[in-house]
A and B are shown apart, each in its own frame.
Chain A
């Protein structure tokens, strides 16, 4: 039973990792860039959620708060691409890495100035509610997280596989120049993807704050772990990201419980290193040899 309990909590945590990993994969799929500020955008989303929903702030209904947070972060993502990332359009992947790392630093600083450095939790309508199935206790918040994540992954998966826009996004990631010539509006697509990843980050953030507490520096390590999840999944695959997230989420509590203290928290990274070493392109590898 103990194991099942750990599993439930691990799956819920893993879903948040998975959501964030989705954000990474979205951007990677569309522009083959990695957004190292994804964790910090999630943190921003969490604080926005807190601001709209908590009674000490705006005290709006839960769903309205989430929607507002998602919209604002979506707009933030769009503007980010439009005014900052567009400036380095076409430069190598590495420039984007550095730029987003710097962005993360800035977002963290601004969040600290606005919301301070004390950990804050989100007041959800289902706070403290627990479903009991036999001896197993499932906090409602965990169930909500799991359902939201699965639904969101399904929607995004469908979007990329079936819609014209989704396919165009994939094309533009593989060769911007060629996509451009084919009449795909590469720049607009990038902006849409960033907006979309902002929305996903906001939802992940709200879930995060509902389950735990948010403060400005949570984004960094959480983001790295989510990135590890995306890499385990292979960076190019949405279901892979979710799977990677779940794997990281599940490994973490079990390693914490059964491995000596200190070793537990590095388990996700060790897992990722192993995956990378054994399959340098992730579990769903997409790297092929360059043609000469």
Chain B
């Protein structure tokens, strides 16, 4: 089924490679649309969380995965998006303009700080963004009129299309809202990736010097990527605020920034799929642990003490193994499995052998 012959340039330009590929995603979409009937309220809530974290992951993936600029501070932009949205809604704004304002505010703030920040690279950029995240934590406490100080803000219900959407009262409606935002952002993301801007991001990631020689304005490409990334993350922050119903500075601790980066790494840096895979792991891992614990308790009588932070530790262990054995993340695993299925029974073991790279100094850029 993968042996299709391309006969038009549009085969490479289109989002879907042929009917079978389109059908796969149509089925996935149908399943997602049917989810409220397939899942109970609790799991629908978890699935909504997957959608929201996927959105945040997409935002980070754009700058870190596709433009190669590691950010350890993206929770800051979730915070900006969340507080903007809530503050505006509490001042009487309608949800949609407030949501757009979240994206625009995060994007603009991202654009403003991107110029000085993105002159750094590698480790310096990572630590600068980390510092940014810590600073925003404090700003979230100080800027009390907007953020509600230490206590935080409660999310008002969303009035949309004559309905009142609330995460608990109408979980279906909130789920569809998140799904709609995510699908639109994903399509825009893919559109960008298949045209000149997206290619310029990849160029900046792989070789700044040759990107520049080919006419890419590197500083501009980074700024564009960073501010779009911040805008997407801001959207995710706004939706997260409604998912959590209440947010304060603790909702966007620097730890969230770090986890978000680990999320896209575990999903697979540099792939759109990775953002989704990562979110699934982050949201569902604690569930899996709880289920496993109950199962062991009931079936085998083994009691495992509930140490605090066990899910984080397991997540960290997963990351550890992933970095060592499969640096391309879950996307890499998925890719191998897919190739194995497509080539069956012709798959060879050495097919994805990695070429050894050797560390060269990063003091030269």
Partners in one complex: yes
Binding site for B on A (CB under 8 A): 31-32, 34, 84, 87-88, 90-95, 97-99, 101-106, 108-110, 112-113, 117, 173-177, 220-221, 224, 227-228, 231, 235-236, 262-263, 265-266, 269-270, 272-273, 276-277, 280-282, 286-292
New contact pairs (17) apart from A102-B317, A263-B138, CB-CB < 8 Å: A87-B324, A90-B358, A92-B359, A98-B323, A99-B324, A102-B319, A108-B309, A109-B310, A109-B316, A228-B131, A231-B124, A262-B138, A269-B135, A276-B127, A277-B117, A281-B124, A292-B210
Task: Name the residue on A nearest B141 (C-beta).
Answer: A262
Contact indicator per residue, chain B 130-151, by CB within 8 Å of chain A (1) or not (0): 1110110010011000000000
Are B327 and A91 in contact, with the CB atoms below 8 A? yes
**B278 smallest CB distance to A (angstroms):** 12
Are B138 and A287 in contact, with the CB atoms below 8 A? no
On whether A106 and B135 interact (CB within 8 A), knowing A174-B363, A176-B358, the answer reads no
A-B contact count (CB 8 A): 153
**A171 smallest CB distance to B (angstroms):** 11
Contact indicator per residue, chain B 300-335, by CB within 8 Å of chain A (1) or not (0): 000000011110110111011001100100000000
Residues of A near B126 (CB, < 8 A) are: 34, 97
> Chain A at the B interface: mostly helix, strand, loop or mixed?
helix
> Chain B at the A interface: mostly helix, strand, loop or mixed?
helix
Bound CA span A99–B81, Å? 30
Are A287 and B364 in contact, with the CB atoms below 8 A? yes
Are B262 and A102 in contact, with the CB atoms below 8 A? yes
Contact indicator per residue, chain B 337-365, by CB within 8 Å of chain A (1) or not (0): 00000000000000000001111111111
**B64 smallest CB distance to A (angstroms):** 9
On whether A276 and B124 interact (CB within 8 A), knowing A224-B134, A262-B141, the answer reads yes
Are A173 and B327 in contact, with the CB atoms below 8 A? no
On whether A112 and B317 interact (CB within 8 A), knowing A90-B357, A280-B120, A290-B364, the answer reads no
Residue pairs across A and B with Cβ atoms less than 8 A apart, 12 shown, are A32-B359, A90-B356, A93-B123, A94-B70, A99-B319, A102-B262, A105-B313, A221-B254, A224-B131, A224-B134, A273-B135, A281-B124
